[in-house]
Amino acid sequence: MERSGVRKYDCGEWVVQRVAWTELNAGGRFFGCVNGRNGCNYFRWFDPPVCDNARGVICGLLRRIKEHEDELERLKMEHMNELQAVKRTSNWFKYVVFVVVFLFASLIM
Ligand SMILES: [Zn+2]
């Protein structure tokens, strides 16, 4: 849910405007008690109901965003795993170079 600064008064607490992101009411703005269900549970829609077509478009876009976020998370994990493998290989390579240089120096002295 997203907040913005509309201020009204109810039950001694602020009433705030929020945006619903449920499948049924995606993008619909409403006023609600700042404490939600823990407060007086005040609730009133600000926007009229969204038509089925717009709701379908919004839900489709939300699903695509979720898919892209999941893909991004998967790629981040893959990247982290590859980075760790490169670091391990790099450390191993440094060790081998050190040993070779040490042995070579021992031989010529
Ligand atoms: Zn309230």
**Measured in angstroms, how far is the CA atom of residue 49 from the centroid of ligand 1?**
23
- Other beta carbons within 10 angstroms of residue 28's beta carbon come to 19
More confident residue, 109 or 44: 44
Which pair of tokens denotes residue 35?
Answer: 């404490």
pLDDT in tens, 31-80: 998 888 888 888 999 999 888 898 889 889 989 999 999 999 999 999 99
Compute, in angstroms, the gap from residue 8 CA to the centroid of ligand 1: 10
Q: Is residue 86 predicted with pLDDT exceeding 70? A: yes
Q: Domain spans of the chain? A: 1-50, 51-109
CA of 37 to the centre of ligand 1 (A): 9
What residue type is 92 in one-letter code? W
Q: How far is the CA of 95 from the centre of ligand 1 (A)?
A: 66
Dist CA 64 CA 58 (whole Å): 10
Q: Mean of the per-residue pLDDT values for the chain?
A: 87
Residue 44 phi/psi, 5-degree rounding, is -155, 130
Query: Rounded to the nearest whole angstrom, what is the distance from the C-alpha of residue 62 to the centroid of ligand 1?
Result: 30
